[in-house]
């Protein structure tokens, strides 16, 4: 890959902030590392993590031609970008207009929709959806039918004339378990449930997993029968996953500018409107983030073992260096990459301080 210079700026110091910047070397490391562990069809990258057809095309260049999507907009965008060889909507939809939009793509893209109830099966059938997966609840209290219901729903879908390709389940409650032994044990137990459901459903696909336990799936495929892993965050990473010691590098940061400084703290222009905050505060290297507000992140240079997290900040004795001057650029690492990307319309590929390219986040929104 040979990115072209960005038309916006030659270096990060010229970018307007806040701006999403992605280190190309870290990104390529992540893509190649995952491709070595789960090559080809063993990985179905989840585009919800980056929401960019340009980045999906990079994943395809690493051998991954099947993709997972979270929204109809992502499915449509991927198909229109020529990335529709095999698209899975791993989410339930009952909106007839949206389902019809997917059905209209089926002559030029392989479209599969997750279903988990009589209502979602019937809605897909009325819209003319041809292929479905039975979504099974394997422990995360979200979507998915009870394992014992999977076979009946599969038969209902077949009675409507649809092809049932198999099952999927998402053990999302296990993604960030920090004890790897516990994570492996509980993942395998969840997969036992999913494999039992798969026996009742039929089809060729058993789809599960994510970035946090991708290695468990890679090591235990003979037991679990999992045919593909729906990992997404591995490409860009965030603090939620980086704490697990996975073999992926932090590729994404939000570039900010210090806009105010005081004796004990500084403020940059990266706030709630540019960060996914559901997994907690972002991070700034060598600094302690106190809190975020709409347009601001307030942080300080402190001793890591002597910091309070309330808005009053640390004691004077905990300050070990002057705060950065107004105009200084800082790299803010979000705690959750998926909603962070949804807040921006483009990202910059960089190497060091050099800006190589600007690419659209064209799958964001509904």
Distance, CA of 365 to CA of 213 (rounded, Å): 28
pLDDT at position 1: 46
pLDDT at position 307: 45
Domain holding 135, by residue range, is 24-237
Task: Inform me whether the pLDDT recorded for 158 exceeds 50.
Answer: yes
Single out the residue of 80, 51, 50, 85 nearest to residue 65, CA to CA: 85
Residue 6: pLDDT band with limits 50, 70, 90: low
Q: What is the mean pLDDT of residues 79-100?
A: 97
pLDDT at position 306: 46
Residues above pLDDT 90, as percent of the chain: 90
- Tens of pLDDT, residues 15-62: 999 999 999 999 999 999 999 999 999 999 999 999 999 999 999 999
Residue 279: pLDDT band with limits 50, 70, 90: very high
CB 119: neighbour CB atoms within 10 A?
11
Residues 91 and 224 grouped into a single domain? yes
Residues 167 and 223 grouped into a single domain? yes
pLDDT at position 319: 46
Residues 195 and 315 grouped into a single domain? no
Single out the residue of 30, 24, 29 nearest to residue 214, CA to CA: 30
DSSP string across 53-84 = HHHHHHHHHTT--EEEESSHHHHHHHHHTT--
Domain membership of residue 366 (yes or no) is: no
Single out the residue of 119, 1, 133 nearest to residue 55, CA to CA: 1
Distance spanning both ends of the chain, measured CA to CA? 30
Looking at residue 4, the DSSP 8-state letter turns out to be P
Q: What is the mean pLDDT of residues 317-329?
A: 78
Q: Quick check: 39 and 334 in contact, CB under 8 A? A: no
pLDDT at position 59: 98
Residues 34 and 113 grouped into a single domain? yes
Domain membership of residue 192 (yes or no) is: yes
Q: What is the mean pLDDT of residues 258-277?
A: 96
Residues 214 and 298 grouped into a single domain? no
Distance, CA of 237 to CA of 242 (rounded, Å): 7
Residues 192 and 263 grouped into a single domain? no
pLDDT at position 9: 81
Residues 258 and 186 grouped into a single domain? no
Residues 90 and 174 grouped into a single domain? yes
Distance, CA of 217 to CA of 131 (rounded, Å): 25
Domain membership of residue 242 (yes or no) is: no
- Tens of pLDDT, residues 223-250: 999 999 999 999 999 999 998 999 999 9
Task: Inform me whether the pLDDT recorded for 366 exceeds 70.
Answer: yes
Query: Which residue, 207, 237, 267, sits at the end of a domain?
Result: 237
The CATH number covering residue 298 comes to 2.40.37.20
Total number of domains in the chain = 2
pLDDT at position 321: 67
Q: What is the mean pLDDT of residues 140-164?
A: 98
Print the SS3 string covering 228-246.
EECCCHHHCCCHHHHCCCC
Domain membership of residue 16 (yes or no) is: no
Residue 254: pLDDT band with limits 50, 70, 90: very high
Domain membership of residue 7 (yes or no) is: no
Residues 28 and 169 grouped into a single domain? yes
Between the alpha carbon of residue 319 and those of residues 154, 282, 324, the distances in Å are 62, 20, 12
pTM of the full predicted structure?
A: 0.92
Domain membership of residue 246 (yes or no) is: no
The CATH number covering residue 115 comes to 3.20.20.10
DSSP-H helix ranges across 202-294: 214-219, 221-224, 239-242
- Tens of pLDDT, residues 96-151: 999 999 999 999 999 999 999 999 999 999 999 999 999 999 999 999 999 999 99
Domain membership of residue 161 (yes or no) is: yes
* Chain mean pLDDT for the chain: 94
Task: Inform me whether the pLDDT recorded for 168 exceeds 60.
Answer: yes
- Tens of pLDDT, residues 42-55: 999 999 999 999 99
Task: Inform me whether the pLDDT recorded for 362 exceeds 90.
Answer: yes
DSSP-H helix ranges across 38-144: 53-61, 72-80, 96-103, 118-127
CA torsion, ordered 259, 262, 266, 267, to nearest 10 deg: -40
């Amino acid at each position: 890959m040979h990115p072209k210079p960005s038309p916006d700026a030659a270096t990060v110091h010229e970018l307007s902030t806040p701006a999403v910047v992605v280190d190309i070397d870290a990104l390529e490391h992540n893509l190649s590392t995952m491709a070595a562990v789960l090559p080809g069809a063993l990985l179905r990258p989840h585009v919800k993590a980056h929401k960019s057809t340009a980045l999906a095309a990079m994943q395809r260049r690493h051998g991954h031609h099947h993709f997972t999507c979270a929204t109809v907009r992502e499915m449509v965008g991927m198909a229109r970008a020529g990335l529709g060889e095999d698209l899975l909507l791993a989410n339930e939809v009952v909106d007839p207009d949206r389902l019809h939009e997917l059905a209209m793509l089926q002559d030029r893209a392989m479209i599969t929709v997750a279903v988990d109830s009589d209502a979602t099966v019937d809605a897909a059938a009325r819209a003319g959806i041809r292929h479905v997966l039975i979504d099974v609840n394997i422990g995360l209290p979200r979507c998915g039918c009870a394992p014992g219901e999977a076979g009946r729903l599969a038969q209902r879908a077949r009675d409507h004339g649809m092809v049932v390709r198999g099952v999927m389940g998402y053990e999302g409650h296990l993604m960030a378990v920090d004890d790897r032994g516990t994570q492996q044990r509980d993942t395998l137990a969840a997969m036992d449930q999913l494999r039992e459901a798969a026996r009742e459903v039929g089809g060729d696909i058993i789809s599960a997993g994510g970035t946090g336990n991708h290695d468990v799936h890679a090591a235990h495929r003979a037991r679990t029968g999992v045919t593909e892993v729906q990992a997404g965050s591995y490409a860009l990473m965030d603090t939620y996953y980086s704490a697990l010691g996975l073999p992926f590098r932090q590729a994404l940061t939000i570039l900010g500018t210090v806009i105010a400084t005081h004796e004990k703290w500084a403020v940059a222009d990266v706030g709630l409107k540019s960060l996914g905050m559901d997994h907690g505060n972002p991070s700034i290297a060598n600094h302690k983030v106190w809190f975020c507000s709409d347009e601001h992140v307030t942080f300080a240079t402190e001793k890591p073992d002597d910091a309070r997290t309330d808005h009053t900040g640390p004691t004077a004795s905990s300050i070990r260096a002057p705060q950065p001057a107004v105009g200084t650029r800082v790299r803010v690492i979000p705690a959750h990459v998926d909603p962070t990307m949804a807040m921006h319309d483009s990202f910059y590929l960089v190497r060091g301080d050099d800006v190589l390219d600007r690419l659209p986040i064209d799958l964001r929104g509904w």
